[in-house]
Amino acid sequence: MPETAAQTLEWLSEEHLAERDRLKERLFELKRLRRAAIVAHNYQHDEVQEVADITGDSLALSQHCVQLDAPVIVFAGVDFMAESAAILNPEKTVLLPEIRADCPMSKMAAWEAVKAMKSQYPDAAVVAYVNCSAEVKAEADICCTSANAVKVVSALPHKRIVFVPDRNLGHYVQRFVPDKEIILWKGFCPTHQRFTIDDLLQSKREHPDALFVAHPECRPEVLVLADHVCSTSGMVSWCRQAPADEFIVGTESGMLYRLRQDNPAKRFYLPTVKLTCPTMKMTTLDKVVQSLELMQYQITVDEAIRVRAKRSLDRMLAITQEQPWAALAGY
């Protein structure tokens, strides 16, 4: 048995590593047994991203789930992401390892309020950022993600857009479509909202040579100072090719794992520890194992809502896959 504090620490970390190996082994057995695929959002804990078959942003993961032939999908992310996978893949079993992992921004738009807004602006198209409930997707004309919001809004024939629920993303999109009027919902991401201009300026003072890359969920006054604004997966490709060795990363802390893996010679800094999404971090390796062990928590969507929500997601995917006319059919 360890006798000193240092020996105890060493013993504990060996125990932890051994437990991690045991969990990984069990996970691979269960994956084979259930014929399951593990998809993980870029914000997940390192240990979860490490065992995933694919990591990505909301758009990449939605697209990937449609192409998968595995009958079971374990979605390491938050509720609306697993729900999108279930909407697009009704024949598959979609599991969310931690049932309390929700997105507070998605709760900021109730479908009844979106419906009321729609009747207030009958000439407008309702664009729903995917960080919303299945019911809101069903009410919307089309969905978007942070990777394609500008493209989706630009492709629409409408001059007026009701954009739900993220006011910061909607405000950012407005820059690129000055001829359209974007009516903003009042929602926001509490995690990105906690990141202030003072945090950014402090980080810039500490890392004067670093470029600043930001997620469009950040506050507008933070976004105007960004060298580049993009989705989480967009950060991977942009930082890879950008002519710099150091980056301040204006998004959730989990993003740093993927960026560092991909660019071992570059340095990535989180401007503030406040950029940690509490619900994204609820999913741990043992919960992923447990979800396959117990086949929990199965995410399902009422069929009538699912069909209408799928139409909004399909329209978005068609635009993203360069088929705007297929997407707009039905307007």
Q: Minimum CB separation from ligand SF4 for residue 231, in Å?
A: 11
Asked if 291 touches ligand 13P (CB under 6 A), the answer is no
Q: Minimum CB separation from ligand SF4 for residue 139, in Å?
A: 20
DSSP code at position 297: P
**H helix runs in the chain, sequence order:** 5-34, 46-51, 58-67, 79-88, 111-120, 134-139, 149-155, 167-174, 190-193, 197-206, 220-223, 232-241, 255-262, 285-294, 303-320, 324-328
Residue 60 binding: pick among ligand 13P, ligand SF4, none (C-beta 5-8 Å cut-off by kind): none
Look up residue 74 and give its two tokens. 């374990």
Residue 104 binding: pick among ligand 13P, ligand SF4, none (C-beta 5-8 Å cut-off by kind): ligand SF4
Residue 167 binding: pick among ligand 13P, ligand SF4, none (C-beta 5-8 Å cut-off by kind): none
The CA distance from 325 to 218, in Å, is: 32
Bond into 165 cis (ω within 30)? yes
Asked if 270 touches ligand SF4 (CB under 6 A), the answer is no
Nearer to ligand 13P, 232 or 292 (CB): 232
Restricting to residues 148-187, which ones interact with ligand 13P according to CB under 6 A? none
121: closest CA among 156, 177, 163?
163
Nearer to ligand 13P, 156 or 189 (CB): 189
Nearer to ligand SF4, 104 or 324 (CB): 104
**Residues in contact with ligand SF4, shown as a per-residue x/- string from 38 to 77 under the rule CB under 6 A:** ----------------------------------------
The SS3 call for residue 93 is: strand
The SS3 call for residue 56 is: strand
The answer to whether 168 and 148 are in contact (CB under 8 A) is no
Asked if 57 touches ligand 13P (CB under 6 A), the answer is yes
Q: Minimum CB separation from ligand 13P for residue 251, in Å?
A: 7
The CA distance from 213 to 238, in Å, is: 9
- HSE at residue 119, side-chain half, CA atoms within 13 A, is 5
Q: Minimum CB separation from ligand 13P for residue 21, in Å?
A: 29
Residues that bind ligand SF4 (CB under 6 A): 78, 103-105, 131, 189-192, 217, 252, 277, 279-280
Residues that bind ligand 13P (CB under 6 A): 42, 57-58, 131, 145-146, 189, 215, 217, 231-232
